[in-house]
Structure 1
């Protein structure tokens, strides 16, 4: 146990930088949060700016899912200061900007560089508050600190590192190849004064005999003065959601497949991390679906959340997936729509405020969604009513989750008058089921993260997040050079 750190207002800051996106920053930062928390320290995560459509509802609004999980790993209460700026891509050239948990229409309209300077004072203040309240702050960077086209307006990498006087680890994905060039090139492109902040290189996702790496780490140290402090083996089934929600068969639980779940992977998918618990259940296989062939033979088809419901619905039709989903439902196959997916399952999308766009729905639930100017962001607890068909196991199950959406959904008045009813199966217009019982739509995110729902649907208990975090901490404890993690906060 470490007891000599963190006088009030002087939290030590450990920062994880990466040579590229996907190098392992989020994963390593989460592991560090749990490792330092297990030393008896008060720990908080921080990422100045995150770009992701995976978000969680916390006190004060929404933050990126990565920082939400990092807070849980740190045994801290998640709050908006841990990710003060969140960019949620809606198109290739436009993002919704969330500042301190709330959508900022003003910042959403500003160009990138102008936005950064406007947001920096609140970012710095949030970090300072976390440092004052904790003994260790684990900071995650974004992309690479060597993106020299953005360095002048940087508010997430080196500017944060300087402000926090952070001790930095630079991590690279060695599985991609060129890892030593990535490390050296990133170091070389950093301003000379900032290179002193780098306290160690980390090789991530290594497969093979680590002795074959020599003499490269030694040569790299001779060139830079920086030691390679860890070589982390490839680990597909660690159980932590990937920041962008991506999964494949290598990260799905092994064993005989007893249920295949196809998740429609439209371009603006959001909150895919909520499916991570399904990857940890024996016999369940998750499959991306980008074409009708991808849903063939699936037991369930899931329409997940979307940051652009109308646009993703148009994409779905262009791929012919609308017909494939309808055919699956027509055969009695289970269909689940979550949030934007629920909206797609209805008859129509109506957009009087120019939020998302108008369009016809898939017509699998007699519902209509009207997009609202205001965004619903709140945690929820609710109990399912009686359900039928493949979702009957959820009857009377109480679950926790969160809402994060524009728009309100209600029964189609004319269809209801003609006798075609959507069956409400949760209070407050949170969920509906079709008359046949095989199509279920709900606004509640987090269904598969609720132990009661998992047990009801699968008769099995997935690994707890706490055990996942402990596994990450054990992993870095085993593979970092002795004493390095402690030295970073001394």
Structure 2
């Protein structure tokens, strides 16, 4: 199990790397995270042959493990809709009763499903690599914990505790976290990991030895700062230093980073395309001079649209489109580009749209969650490179979008490039689609840029090789021996 002293310490990255490393040793591997709070989700195999949602991190971890992603790998997903409210997804499906239940009262209701999912994965695999959440030493949450030490105790997992040394205070973070745990839980901590280190590792001495004298726990790895490791960020916008685009830049793309942005991880491939400069934008000044503006998905479309207007970004997008600049809306972004959002069920909210596509969206109580593959129709103008291009991805949305009838009667009709999934304006420079994962399709990147990004397989292999490079050989040998031990 991988635990962290803080959010952002590197748990997801390290869990993904360990999944590939164990798989490289020939083991059958699965990832697991009991509860993930994220608006970055993927469509995966559900129970009894259906489909459901899990956090994107567990999806990528499963691919790194060479396993089919499935809902047992992240049995509880919380999708924030506001600062004090989240949609609850249990075993891949929205659970309205749990969504309405007080947070502290929810734990005992969901624990049986979490424990069963973990037990089933352990029975089916040689190794399960578990990711914790936040810090295991949040003493105000310990009694209702269902994601950190309760999981560790249930599985009797060997735990690594990782700290972000670039923030400063890493040894205090490690010692303080260890010290706040009860003695039986301290005994599960088998190694400390220093992540995001910059400098001469020899200068760390004698701190690791002193920490081991205090805790009995060795520091088993020092991982350097890896700005461009290639793995999508799970919960935060990328750092400026990780934007890639080495050499000459031919395309500048701004992604509008509204408060409830979702599925931001799908833009990682754009960071990896040579000559593409990707940046997040929260002000009109940050979209000046760009070639593309992307309106990404949103977990609260009407609220994020109001935020966009408050920043003056609505006018900036309209001016960019009027100049012929490319605009792309994905899922919630597509809904914003239309004429209106209509919500008669209290799902998201009513709002006028940006008016760049003659479409209207009505929110439905049932959520569409499915994989999709299709082919673009006769795309024209700025997006003509996509004409007849095959594409695959996934849908996660409550909205149902269609041509605005009154505008159609007046002759303003959107060009439907994929039935029910993609539309283009008459000028050809504004494109909206429900399909997530567009840029993860190599055929799309080739069509748009004439180039390819580093593949996920290459990224995962690099992460796995990093375990051999940065972890103590004695720890690696012990980890392999433990995985091969009879059950």
Q: 1:201 maps to what in 2? A: 192
Count of aligned pairs between the two proteins: 475
Once the two structures are superposed, residues 212-258 of structure 1 have per-residue CA deviations (whole angstroms, 9 ceiling, x without a partner) of 10110010000000000000000010100011152133112222221
Match of residue 36 from structure 2: 50
Cα distance, 1:287 vs structure 2: 1.0
- RMSD of aligned residue pairs (Cα, Å): 0.7
Match of 1:20 in 2: 6
Residues 23-422 of structure 1: pairs in structure 2 closer than 5 A: 23-60=9-46, 61-253=52-244, 254-422=246-414
What CA distance in whole angstroms lies between the structure 1 residues aligned with 2:309 and 2:336?
11
- Secondary structure of the residue aligned to 1:89 is strand
How far apart, CA to CA, are the structure 2 residues paired with 1:333 and 1:249? Answer: 24
Unaligned runs of 5+ in 2: 47-51, 483-487
Q: Is contact 1:245–1:273 with CA below 8 Å preserved after alignment?
A: no
- Whether the 8 Å contact between 2:171 and 2:211 is mirrored in structure 1 is yes
- Structure 2: how far apart are the matches of 1:485 and 1:321? 51
Counterpart-to-counterpart distance in 1, 2:257 and 2:453: 24
Q: Greater shift after overlay, 275-284 or 63-72?
A: 275-284
Contact 1:249 1:285 survives alignment (8 Å): no
* SS of equivalent to 1:364: coil
Partner SS state of residue 226, structure 1: coil
Which TM-score applies when normalising by structure 1?
0.96
Distance 2:154 2:479 in 1: 17
Once residues 65 and 283 of structure 1 are traced to their aligned partners in structure 2, the CA distance between those partners, rounded to angstroms, is 26
Instruction: Give me the whole-angstrom Cα distance separating, in 2, the residues matched to 1:450 and 1:316.
Output: 29
Counterpart position of 1:5 = none
For 2:441 and 2:94, locate their aligned partners in 1 and report how far apart those are by CA, in whole Å: 27
Q: Kindly indicate whether the alpha-carbon contact (under 8 Å) linking 2:359 and 2:414 is maintained by their aligned counterparts in 1.
A: yes
CA distance in 2, matches of 1:309, 1:361: 10
How far is the alpha carbon of 1:361 from its aligned partner?
0.1
Deviates more, 1:250-259 or 1:416-425: 250-259
4+ residue runs of structure 1 moved beyond 3 angstroms? none
Unpaired segments of 5 or more residues in structure 1? 1-14
